[in-house]
Structure 1
Amino acid sequence: MLGLFRWQDLLDIVIISFVVYRLLLLLVDTRAMQLVKGIFVLGLLAAAARVFELQALSWLLGKSLTALFIAIPIVFQPELRRVLEELGRGQIWQRRQAQERAEQLADEVTRALVYLQGQKIGALLVLERTTGLKDVWRTAVRLDAEISQELVVSLFWPNNPLHDGAVIVNKERILAAACYLPLTENSNLSRWLGTRHRAALGVTEVSDAMSLIVSEERGEISLGIKGHLSRGLKEKQVRRLLLHYFLAREEQKGGLLEQLRRELRELWPGSGGKNEI
């Protein structure tokens, strides 16, 4: 049996598996993905019916699958057209989806922070990286929600029950709100910095997370990372920092920090940022 197996057969299997995998990625978060799951379940039932020689069930499932394959192009025309468009642009072979998703998340968070800055509403957003912050958010209000401008703004809106505390984000999800963070142990900070900034620095001293702070008194956005505070970030700068974060991969542990330092040097040449520490 193994003697009949050629290297071309192995290559054939690998190529088909890769194509099916990329097609499934294009269908993620669409209605068509639920259909694929349904067809898979029906296929398993049909196989089981044949093994146990359940002729009536096999006939019924066979007719159902035939009807589904006829109805799919009609019901899911928009999804199929989208897949073909992606194939036509060659996106199935590229990582454009990850880039577009990161840009979308960066835009959502940036717009939220800039809006809060314009309204002078205080906010503290913690971006979790490789070090888990479960000890911080397990006693807070769990959300596990998708990131959106409206949700971030509403969480920090005055008189909202969840506005007092930090919001923790992990890649593509908002994990929790109303989180209380450890305060920094650095005694050399400016006395003008309040509890929000001290908490933002405290969490970066006990983990590799970074924090974004909106000051309600000064109406400015600041970045906390590795126990250092950089103040006065502009909208473009915030977006680029967030884009680096959402694009960062686990294996590039030192890459994100270096990118942030480069960004801050561009904003404040020769200083690396207005560090309070």
Structure 2
Amino acid sequence: MFFDMIHWRDFLDIAIIAFIFYRALLLLVDTRAMQLVKGLIVLGLIAALARLVHLEALSWVLGRLFGVIVIAIPIVFQPELRRMLEELGRGNILRRKQAEERAGQLTDEVTRALEYLRSQKIGAILVFQRDTGLKDFWRSAVKLNGEISEDLIVTIFWPGTPLHDGAVILDREKIIAAACYLPLTENSNLSRWIGTRHRAALGITEVSDAMALVVSEERGEVALAINGHLSRRLREDQIRRLLLHYFSAMPRRSSPWWETLKKELRNLWPAKESDRKEKENAKGN
């Protein structure tokens, strides 16, 4: 008799509500609001336990507290709620799962490559571009624009290949270029045991917000350079978490085409001006 009262629309109703809650929780991951959700779950369990054992005073206090929290949530977490609505309006709520799967795939490819290079003690330096563009450093390098893969990374740094001497610059979508030469750090307090690769990794993080992962061919270890600081002997799980955070981050918004055009013109103008002066000096001589 109970099953006669259940209609297929009831299952559809429950499935839609569950889907909405699931997607909402995905949007709250790694935000302040997620901590609030955890706290509400704990308070809910305490309230249920208090009612079960008839703790009237505690139940009354928690009931009033929930009323205050419901009013305070939209005020305190207004930025997070606005972001959720914006992503819903752009349709990102349906593409979040695909982005997470893609981030996990890229993380696996780079992590496997680093672990293989470490096991074989093959020196390498990978620079991960963030908000600051690194075109000045890969402009004269070998441009690849290739898919990020373990095989390609290992092949680039394999001893004897034409591209192994230099750094590889990546972004969140592809390998931009190889055989890139980076500025060395100006920090004079480093140990003399810190080699050229590590100094180059520190140098690029001092002039940009990029991060760099370095494989030492002498010690067979992976080091991280970021904001001018060096962390050595990274474990595989640390590398994986670091890369997953990098590839999961939202890509920087592209500038309007006219802003990009102005930047390119500014980059080209000094070069043209210097060429003109060199020609004038040559004529004078």
The bucket for the TM-score relative to the shorter chain is 0.5 to 0.7
Amino acid at match of 2:189: N
Counterpart Cα distance in 1 of 2:154 and 2:94: 36
**Alpha-carbon distance in 2 for matches of 1:143, 1:100:** 24
SS of residue in 2 equivalent to 1:154: helix
- Give the letter for the 1:232 counterpart: R
Alignment correspondent of 2:164 = 163
User: In 2, Cα distance between the equivalents of 1:120 and 1:94?
Assistant: 39
Amino acid at match of 2:110: V
Task: Measure, in 1, the Cα distance between the counterparts of 2:223 and 2:102.
Answer: 24
| Alpha-carbon separation, structure 2, partners of 1:251 and 1:183 | 27
Which letter maps to 2:98? Answer: Q
**Paired-residue identity, %:** 70
Say if 1:136 and 1:241 are closer, same or farther in 2 by CA, change over 3 A.
Answer: same
Q: TM-score, normalised by structure 1?
A: 0.57
SS of the residue corresponding to residue 176 of structure 1 reads: strand
Give how far 1:132 is off.
0.2
- Structure with higher Rg: it is 2
Instruction: Give the Cα separation in 2 of the matches to 1:152 and 1:161.
Output: 13
User: In 1, Cα distance between the equivalents of 2:202 and 2:93?
Assistant: 41
Letter in 2 for 1:107: D
Aligned residues: 162
**How do residues 103-142 of structure 1 correspond to structure 2 at under 5 angstroms?**
103-142=104-143
Superposed CA offset, 1:70-118 (max 9, x none): xxxxxxxxxxxxxxxxxxxxx9835100000000000000000000000
* Partner of residue 243, structure 1: 244
Unaligned 5+ segments in structure 2 are 1-91, 254-285
* Structure with the largest fraction of helix: 2
The Cα shift of 1:251 comes to 6.6
Q: For residues 144 and 180 of structure 2, what CA distance do their matches in structure 1 show?
A: 11
- Separation (CA, whole Å) in 1 of partners of 2:179 and 2:248: 26
Gaps of 5+ in 1: 1-90, 253-277
- Amino acid in the other structure paired with 2:176: L
The CA distance in 1 between the partners of 2:178 and 2:235, in whole Å, is 25
Runs of 4+ in structure 1 over 2 Å off: 91-94
Question: Cα deviations across residues 8-37 of structure 1 (Å, max 9, x unaligned)?
Answer: xxxxxxxxxxxxxxxxxxxxxxxxxxxxxx
Corresponding residue number in structure 2 for 1:192 = 193
**TM-score of the superposition, structure 2-length normalised?**
0.55
Over the residues paired in the alignment, what is the CA RMSD in angstroms?
1.6
The match for 1:175 is 176
SS in structure 1 opposite 2:246? Answer: helix
Specify the code of the residue in structure 2 equivalent to 1:198.
R
Q: Is contact 2:222–2:233 with CA below 8 Å preserved after alignment?
A: yes
Distance 1:174 1:94 in 2: 23
SS of aligned partner of 2:239: helix
Q: Helix, strand or coil for the counterpart of 1:125?
A: strand
Structure 2 residue aligned with 1:218: 219
